[in-house]
Structure 1
């Protein structure tokens, strides 16, 4: 081998050797980074599953590092990663704890790009909410509480908006237990809304309840809609067979109001929102909770929706519609699957 070639090869080997400490350092740093994310994700999975409940105290940094066979700095980075994602809280001189809404934050951390597919009931205020969410929440399937629950059962939706009054007088919970018992069911409270009779200006027939609508043309929602269920319940309570009532069957609250405004129907059952612009009057009958039924695994995907529900501007826009109570908006509660409905 010529001397010139040998010298060049030697220089290349020396240059490669000079980079080896840096390469080893980068490899170690990458491994440490991967380990802290791995630890954080393991803890997030335990929070999402319910194994680590809200306010559960996490092990001390040194203790946990010893158990895991890693460094304290790696555990500190894992805890900070979880705290930045709102899964845990870290207070000075106190151990880390699972945050109050840690299960939601954990699910979002584990599936950051997941779109929440929402099926179910129709509502003017829901349209306002969805208009502010963009692609993070996508409406799917047919409208109505029953179709919404059916979409969740089939895996076509992550959550269903419902307003169904059980014969025991409790809204929604029994139906959520029936559909999502194996999925650790939860309810997200959107708002309470006012349902009542939609009548022409001046209420010419003097209607005060469902008792007076027998023999009239009644604008009704389609079968499977929660408002149709409510109408049938009100009619039965007055001794009127729902099948004996005539009138158009329509797919939204807006169209029910339009039917009365156009003179196609004498009366309709629906929400108060937006009636003043149509020159109609409203006979209040009931306030009802309007909620999203979903399983624990879908709580993370619902996080953008929950964040939007805290926006004061949204509250103002919905309140302006009329007929809404947002006192408990955004509250999330688990549904006890072992609690039977009262007879």
Structure 2
């Protein structure tokens, strides 16, 4: 039986909430959703499963994403990842990849609870030296997922074309009159931004627009292009698409996390195999701001090096 997809209005009626609350449930509670078609769509079967898992005293401790042909991703937003879903769905007719944009931490939580097959994450560790590794043992204990690199990508400050306010770095965001746009709590970009502010000695509450949040990198760039903000953290591809200014901050590792029980599933392996295809690499090159040097490599758990006797 084919999966039935609900519109935002329909899922709001099904859950008996207003439509704005639906977006909050996607972001904060892991409501399964996809935006591949340009509009939010909700797999009815997964919404029903999600609702069951939120019933008080529900005896089942773990989710179930066993629908044949359905490949569920959850976590951080990324432009190349979105286009890879479209490429996968075109080239693998027996599968449908869907995505819940719930932020890096939301994706890790969803994977831990069995609500998805793959989590997408770029959570920077407190010391800034690594990504994602610190959070794997914290969430999964003795049964950690495999961490596969999807891409390295460039994070920075998006500004209006020509950089009229002459913003050169994080410290300039604290200047009087500068309006920023932010990302939600639980996203890797928000974690990076808060870390950069702390290092620069800037108190978040002093920034105009700190609580002005956008759900994706592209939405950040669109807000700045529309004149609703002057600057915000996002990846370079979002800036490139709109011809905006960009002040680079750092390259980060954007990873896919897959549970051991799902790693060798045919759908998961088909998706990972796509990362080596020329068409995928052409898409990354066209977007700009990506490096695929370690794309597709397992970066955690790292292999044990045996000492020579």
Structure 1's unaligned 5+ residue stretches are 1-110, 339-343
Q: Decide whether the 8 Å contact of 1:198 with 1:281 is kept in 2.
A: yes
Distance 1:274 1:148 in 2: 21
2:282 pairs, out of 302, 316, 327, with 316
Match of 2:74 in 1: 119
Q: CA RMSD in A?
A: 2.3
Distance 2:67 2:186 in 1: 33
TM-score normalized by the length of structure 2: 0.69
Distance 1:242 1:151 in 2: 29
Distance 2:236 2:258 in 1: 27
Deviations 1:74-110 (A, max 9, x none): xxxxxxxxxxxxxxxxxxxxxxxxxxxxxxxxxxxxx
Deviations 1:23-55 (A, max 9, x none): xxxxxxxxxxxxxxxxxxxxxxxxxxxxxxxxx
* Greater per-residue helix proportion: 1
Q: Decide whether the 8 Å contact of 2:111 with 2:259 is kept in 1.
A: no
Matched, 1:267 2:267: no
Matched, 1:209 2:169: yes
Q: Decide whether the 8 Å contact of 1:137 with 1:305 is kept in 2.
A: no
TM-score normalized by the length of structure 1: 0.62
Distance 2:239 2:192 in 1: 20
SS in 2 for 1:165: coil
Highest Rg: 1 or 2?
1
Match of 2:119 in 1: 160
2:206 pairs, out of 213, 232, 244, with 244
SS in 2 for 1:148: helix
Structure 2's unaligned 5+ residue stretches are 1-65, 305-309
Structure 1 moving runs of 4+ over 4 Å: 111-114
Q: Decide whether the 8 Å contact of 2:72 with 2:116 is kept in 1.
A: yes
Q: Decide whether the 8 Å contact of 2:123 with 2:187 is kept in 1.
A: no
Mark the CA change 1:336 to 1:243 in structure 2 (over 3 Å): closer, same or farther: farther
C-alpha deviation, 1:205, in angstroms: 2.0
Deviations 1:131-160 (A, max 9, x none): 111263533434210111111122111221
C-alpha deviation, 1:233, in angstroms: 0.7
Match of 2:256 in 1: 292
Matched, 1:218 2:180: yes
Match of 2:222 in 1: 258
C-alpha deviation, 1:243, in angstroms: 3.3
Distance 2:145 2:236 in 1: 30
Q: How many residues align?
A: 228
Deviations 1:223-278 (A, max 9, x none): 11111111111111101122332322110111100010011001011011142442
Q: Decide whether the 8 Å contact of 1:177 with 1:336 is kept in 2.
A: no
